[in-house]
Amino acid sequence: MTNQEHEPLPDEERREFSAETGSLWRLTLTPLTWAMHLVLCYATISLACARQLFPVEVARLGLIGASVLALGFICWQGWRAVRQWNVLTTGVLTHPNGKAEDRHRFLGHAATLIAVISAIGTVYTTLPLLLLEGCR
Amino acid sequence: MIAVLVMAGTLCHLAGSGAMIQSRPPETTALDIPGPVPTERPQGPRCIRQRILASVLLLAGCEGPQSALVPAGVDAQALHLLFTTMLGGAIVLWLLMNGFIYWFSHRHPAAFSEIAARWLIVLGGVVTPAIMVGALLVWGLTLLPDQRIAGNGLRIRVHGEQWWWRVAYQPPGTSGPIISANEIRLPAGRRTEFILTSDRVIHSFWIPALGGKMDMFPGRETRMSLQPETPGRYRGQCAEFCGASHAWMAFEAVVMPPEEFDAWLKAEAKDARPPQQDSARKGQQIFRREGCGACHTLRGTEAVAQVGPDLTHIGNRHSIGAGRLGATLDDIALWVRHTGDLKPEVHMPAFPHLEPAELRDLASYLKGLK
């Protein structure tokens, strides 16, 4: 980064974007949790039912526990995203300007919506665990 | 139904255009039409009548022995309720959406406040669908285990072949199974368990009027149970593409009052009846001469092979060739003579060299196996 002073504008943008690293992670983490939860559920139940590696009831209870953890994590990240969006204190929903603050709050807005979808998806994946017992 | 109504509408439209073309002045020909003929939406009672006729014709298709829309058992009723609820919901949703479009474009075209629009998106686009899909998911998941609840004793093992069904009844308290094929009889008001397997490819066992379907896999057992309520004849059909004659892999499902069923099953367990008439006796000789016993079993005779369907009581069945034809003498003769034409790639060879009289005798013998 020796050329920082020679090209101030691109570097400024880069710094502003890198300040949002946490927001981008938050945006990604909730759908990733949902996806991993789905794969974990399918894989564990398959291994219990098709390969009989462990009892299906143990798998089911373990996965219900994992679902609670996954949902808790998504809710926690979702709550942090709401706070980043800052809509509850300002009442401002949209971020039409391209300033750093707008960008920061927009990412919070997007992360909130993605967290909501991820939570719904995780709940849907968990429902068969709660309602169906055994392998059939 | 919507598709047929659209078709009827198109037909009305075409009929209308035809009438307009005919009403053109006689000196113009099709070649010197300068531009598009002014069209007018056809109207009048004729089109309405056509649409009503189309709807009635289409609704008539909901009837019949292979319809999930006319449930004849507990399991089919549960699925029917789910289906009609979803259909009703879809209609309400469709009316609501189109009502909104009409209301906001024609009746109340003023600008919508941003807050109201956002609430509409959040409630109508996120909250309501999530709750409705979730509710349907919970409903569907609670129905799933019901398809496999334990029966009242009778178990039927069904093995899918290309393209027919091996059937083995295992009533409680008996030693060996009672072997049959291509027709399944069930006692009304009792729950019967099915154990499903397959020979070479995946099939799917489905009697729409009695319940949901279940896949049949080679080397793996699947289970389901059915509780039919209304005695009658229904049609089952393989519901998983399984080769050239998949569409012809069907069977009759006969629901009987329990006492009648018990009597029938007792008779089904007996050996094949010896031929009673001359023509049937001749037919028996033809059966032996042509080597039919190399593939088929007739219990109580020297024919014990298990390549093809068990024919011990074929005379009682309502169809032959796994639901391919009826079970009259003519049907049996037609089947033996034109097997491959009736059921492409079937393993059973046709017997085109048999004389019509011989075919009739053979059919008479088989029909007598009650």
Structure confidence by residue, pLDDT tens digits, B329-367: 999 999 999 999 999 999 999 999 999 999 999 999 999
Q: What is the pLDDT of residue B12?
A: 45
User: Does residue A110 fall inside a structural domain?
Assistant: yes
Range of the domain at A119: 22-131
Nearest CA in chain A to B145: A132
Amino acid at B48: I
Query: Is residue B163 located within the same domain as residue B262?
Result: yes
pLDDT for residue A72: 97
- Is the Cβ of B139 closer than 8 Å to some Cβ of chain A? no
Report whether B299 contacts B271 (CB < 8 A): yes
Q: Please give the residue that has the higher pLDDT: either B16 or B36.
A: B36
Q: What is the DSSP letter of B275?
A: P
Distance of residue B60 Cα from the nearest chain A Cα, in angstroms = 37
The Cα B210–Cα B75 span in angstroms is 6
Report if residue B107 sits inside a domain: no
pLDDT at residue number B140 = 93
If we measure between CA atoms, which residue out of A111, A33, A119 comes closest to residue B126?
A119
CA distances from B267 to B12, B193, B292 (A): 58, 21, 23
d(CA B227, CA B281): 41
> Residue B282 maps to which CATH number?
2.60.40.420
Which one of B126, B130, B142 has the shortest CB-CB distance to A131? Answer: B142
B129 alpha-carbon distance from chain centroid: 32
pLDDT at A39 over 90: yes
CB B216 within 8 A of CB B161: no
Structural domain includes residue A17:
no
B153 CA: distance to closest CA in chain A (Å):
20
Which residues on B lie below 8 Å from A123 (Cβ)?
134
User: Which residue shows structure tokens 């409705």?
Assistant: B132
Q: Containing domain of residue B291, as a range?
A: 278-367
Residues B340, B350: contact at Cβ < 8 Å? yes
B303-326 per-position pLDDT tens digit: 999 999 999 999 999 999 999 999
Whole-number Å distance between alpha carbons of A127 and B171: 37
**B60-74 pLDDT per residue, tens:** 777 889 999 999 999
Question: Which residues sit opposite B237 in a β-bridge?
Answer: B250
Chain B residues within an 8 Å CB radius of A132: 141, 144-145
Q: Does residue A10 fall inside a structural domain?
A: no
pLDDT band at A64 (very low <50, low <70, confident <90, very high): very high
**Mean pLDDT across A25-41:** 94
Count how many Cα atoms sit within 13 Å of the Cα of residue B272 in the half-sphere of its side chain: 26
Under an 8 A CB cutoff, do A128 and B138 touch? Answer: no
Give CA–CA dist B235/B26, Å, rounded.
Answer: 57
Confidence of residue A20 (pLDDT cuts 50, 70, 90): confident
Residue B326 included in any domain:
yes
User: Could you give the CA distance from residue A74 to residue A70 in angstroms, rounded to a whole number?
Assistant: 6
For range B143-170, the mean pLDDT: 93
- Which pLDDT does position A14 carry in this prediction? 75
| The amino acid at A11 | D
Q: How far apart are CA B198 and CA B219, in angstroms?
A: 7
Task: Inform me whether the C-beta atom of residue B117 falls under 8 Å from chain A C-beta atoms.
Answer: no
Residue A16 falls within a domain, yes or no?
A: no
- Selecting from A116, A127, A128 the residue whose C-beta is nearest the C-beta of B126 gives A116
- List of chain A residues whose C-beta atoms are within 8 Å of the C-beta of residue B141: 127-128, 131-132
Average pLDDT on B134-151 reads 92
Who has greater pLDDT, B157 or B56? B157
Please indicate whether residue A38 or residue B11 has the higher confidence score (pLDDT).
A38
Residue B124 lies in a domain: no
In the predicted structure, residue B14 carries a pLDDT above the cut 50 = no
Q: Nearest residue of B to residue A119 by CA position?
A: B130
Give me the pLDDT at residue B44, please.
Answer: 61
Average pLDDT over residues B129-135: 94
Total number of domains in chain B: 3
DSSP string for residues in B327-368: -SHHHHHHHHHSHHHHSTT-SSPP-TTS-HHHHHHHHHHHHT
Q: What's the confidence (pLDDT) of residue A3?
A: 45
Q: What pLDDT does residue B42 have?
A: 52
Residue B104: the pLDDT is: 86
CB contact (8 A) between residue B137 and residue A120: no
- pLDDT, greater one: B12 or B353: B353
Does A5 fall in a domain? no
Q: Is the ipTM of this complex over 0.85?
A: no
Question: Which amino acid would we find at residue A107?
Answer: L
Residue B221, Cβ density class (10 Å: 0-12 exposed, 13-18 middle, ≥19 buried): exposed
Judge whether B332 and B231 are in contact, CB under 8 Å.
no
**What pLDDT score was predicted for residue B7?**
47
Query: What is the band of A7 on the pLDDT scale with cuts at 50, 70, 90?
Result: low
Summary mean pLDDT of chain B: 87
Instruction: Let me know whether B207 and B314 are in one domain.
Output: no
Is the Cβ of B120 closer than 8 Å to some Cβ of chain A? no
Q: Is the link from the previous residue into B163 a cis peptide, with omega within 30 of 0?
A: yes
> Residues near B307 by Cβ (< 8 Å), separated by ≥ 6?
B294, B295, B296, B347
- List the B222-226 sheet strands across, edge first: B178-181, B164-170, B155-161, B192-198, B222-226
pLDDT in the model for residue B207: 97
Q: Which of A10-14, A117-121, B229-233 has the lowest mean pLDDT?
A: A10-14
Joined tokens for residue B362: 């053979």
B26: pLDDT strictly greater than 50:
no
φ, ψ dihedrals at B133, nearest 5°:
-65, -40
Q: How far apart are CA B176 and CA B306, in angstroms?
A: 16
A79 vs A77: CA distance, rounded Å? 5
Task: State whether residue A12 sits within 8 Å of chain B by CB.
Answer: no
Question: Is A4 domain-assigned?
Answer: no
* Range in A61-65, B54-58, B243-247, B287-291 with the lowest mean pLDDT: B54-58
pLDDT of residue B137 exceeding 60, the answer is: yes
The domain boundary, picked from B268, B293, B322, lies at: B268
Together in a domain, B264 and B153: yes
DSSP-assigned letter for residue B127? I
Q: What is the pLDDT of residue A90?
A: 79
Q: Which helix (H) or strand (E) holds B224?
A: strand B222-226
Pair of tokens at residue B264 = 């029938």
Last residue of a domain, one of B215, B239, B268: B268
Segment (H or E) for B278: helix B278-289
Give the pLDDT confidence score for residue B9 in this predicted structure. Answer: 46
